Amino acid sequence: MAARNYDIPELRRLDVAHHLPAQANYGEIQALGGSRIITRAEGSTIFDGEGNAILDGMAGLWCVNVGYGRDELVRTAAEQMQELPFYNTFFKTATPPTVLLATKLAELLGGDLQHVFFNSSGSEANDTVMRMVRHYWNVSGQPKRTVFISRRNAYHGSTMAGASLGGMKAMHPIGGLPIPGVEHVAQPYKFGEGFGEDDESFYARCAQEIEDRILAVGPENVAAFIGEPVQGAGGVIIPSKSYWKRVDAICKKYGILLVIDEVICGFGRLGEWFGFQHFGVTPDLVPMAKGLSSGYLPISAVGVSHKIVEVLREKGGDFVHGYTYSGHPVAAAVALKNLEIIEREGLVQRVKNDIGPYYAAALSRLESDPLVGEVRTLGLIGAVEIVSKRGTNERFTGEEGKAGPIVRDACIRNGLMVRGIRDSIVMCPPLIITREEIDRMVDFIGRALRESEPALRALKAEVKA
């Protein structure tokens, strides 16, 4: 579709005057003269109001798995809106797309995960998790089990519960978080926190910290452990399979529920339908969002084990929780169609056997760059660590934090959207990205690193002075 003729300078002016964007520094946005206005997109490319084509290395925000411009999803939404644009699930009522989507998700999740609760966002899904888990333990006769164990740099959303479960230090002072009953332990961040250490001993140490915390808090007080298979927003932190096997075993040893947050990893990102399938663990609850609808409409879900639902049916009484838009029929219909596309086009297998390995090989070319300390990928997610000295994990300012945004801005200037997280850039392209586009991504990053070098070296000097 051609771009409409927007008045971009006026939109940018109005953006500053009236719009407060998410996760932003409002002074900075004002100084910039407003946000970059994105007007349209096709395949794996977004276009801004100035006419720049930008390769979308972030699949929107880790979500546009099937790519942009899918007419099928547009038609599905329009048809469902005509037939039934809205109905709720409060009044002992449900709608066909909602029931069918729950059924499809139960099939994909497999095993004991046969029940699904709907919400509109990943954050809301984790609020549901927190309330459902605590309610479950309460009616099970173990009301002291209220504590959630999570990890530093985990991301579980931005609501009061989501940001509390998350382990992002910068988020906690905003709103007086975390709320009580959340404990944060080590992240399995080998490059940052176990550099030079033997893999096996590092990951064993990270898992052991979970067991130690459980014992310190008292197992009788611990409700659940929550973790992303691969931490996304925290910097694409990819643990070993042995790490997850240990965490799974620790949870089972103490009867603690395992919550695997699949908001990013779900729906093919890691080369399986779900990240927990790649790592070979068996969660009790599975929050998911983003790729569920490829971002075409807001919808999230929580997969819940039959073991939990049996207790809720028997002893749970009213589960006084849920949202106006829980199971929204239009969002559910679009999600269902999105899953059909992923299945029909074999996108999960494509990530595992074809484009994922190609992506890994292409990005690894950056490892010879003097500014690159590590390239890590799994499926179609990845990170490039920027260091001041090759072969080390030394940062440009002597501490973590400044290099990522500098290289990110250079990538965007070159025509590639990435995120800068502390001293890395991270990528998460649509599952339909082509080999040629991946090669372009690698070229853009290489060029951005060269262009960033003076600013990065100046950063170091600035700190020394």
Ligand X SMILES: *Cc1c(COP(=O)(O)O)cnc(C)c1O
Binding residues vs ligand X (CB under 6 A): 62, 121-123, 155-158, 228, 232-233, 261, 263-264, 289
Nearer to ligand X, 121 or 424 (CB): 121
Contacts of residues 389-396 at CB distance under 8 Å and 24 or more positions apart, as own/partner, are: 392/195, 393/191, 393/192, 393/195, 395/423, 396/423, 396/456, 396/457, 396/459, 396/460
Nearer to ligand X, 296 or 396 (CB): 296
Q: How far apart are CA 295 and CA 70, in angstroms?
A: 12
User: What tokens does 40 get?
Assistant: 């349209």
Q: How far apart are CA 431 and CA 267, in angstroms?
A: 10
> Which residues have a Cβ under 8 Å from the Cβ of 124 and sit 6 or more positions away?
157, 159, 162, 300, 323
- Residue 288 Cβ vs ligand X, minimum distance, rounded to whole Å: 9
For 26-75, strand residue ranges (E) read 38-42, 45-48, 53-56
- Residue 123 Cβ vs ligand X, minimum distance, rounded to whole Å: 3
> Residue 417 is inside which H or E element, if any?
strand 416-417
Nearer to ligand X, 165 or 410 (CB): 165
Q: What are the two backbone dihedrals, phi and then psi, of residue 448, each rounded to the nearest 5 degrees?
A: -65, -40
- Residue 57 Cβ vs ligand X, minimum distance, rounded to whole Å: 16
Nearer to ligand X, 233 or 342 (CB): 233
Nearer to ligand X, 264 or 407 (CB): 264
- Residue 155 Cβ vs ligand X, minimum distance, rounded to whole Å: 5
- Residue 417 Cβ vs ligand X, minimum distance, rounded to whole Å: 16
- Residue 237 Cβ vs ligand X, minimum distance, rounded to whole Å: 12
Nearer to ligand X, 123 or 146 (CB): 123
Q: Residue 322's CB: how many other CB atoms inside 10 A?
A: 17
Nearer to ligand X, 154 or 351 (CB): 154
Contacts of residues 370-374 at CB distance under 8 Å and 24 or more positions apart, as own/partner, are: 371/449, 371/452, 371/453, 371/456, 372/449, 373/191, 374/191
Strand partners, 182: 148
- Residue 194 Cβ vs ligand X, minimum distance, rounded to whole Å: 22
Q: What are the two backbone dihedrals, phi and then psi, of residue 121, each rounded to the nearest 5 degrees?
A: -145, 165
Nearer to ligand X, 150 or 158 (CB): 158
Nearer to ligand X, 224 or 448 (CB): 224
> Residue 385 is inside which H or E element, if any?
strand 381-386
Chain residue at closest Cβ approach to ligand X: 122
Q: Which of 192, 180, 124, 198 is nearest to 152 (CA)?
A: 192
One DSSP character per residue, 326-353 reads TT-HHHHHHHHHHHHHHHHTTHHHHIII
Q: Which of 144, 189, 179 is nearest to 159 (CA)?
A: 179
> Residue 372 is inside which H or E element, if any?
strand 372-378
Contact status, residue 279 vs residue 229, Cβ threshold 8 Å: yes
Q: Would you state the torsion angle of the CA atoms of residues 258, 199, 196, 390, taken in this order, to the nearest 10 degrees?
A: -90
- Residue 60 Cβ vs ligand X, minimum distance, rounded to whole Å: 11
Nearer to ligand X, 291 or 356 (CB): 291
Beta strands across the sheet bearing 416-417: 38-42, 45-48, 53-56, 416-417
Nearer to ligand X, 166 or 329 (CB): 166
User: What tokens does 78 get?
Assistant: 């329009």
- Residue 287 Cβ vs ligand X, minimum distance, rounded to whole Å: 7
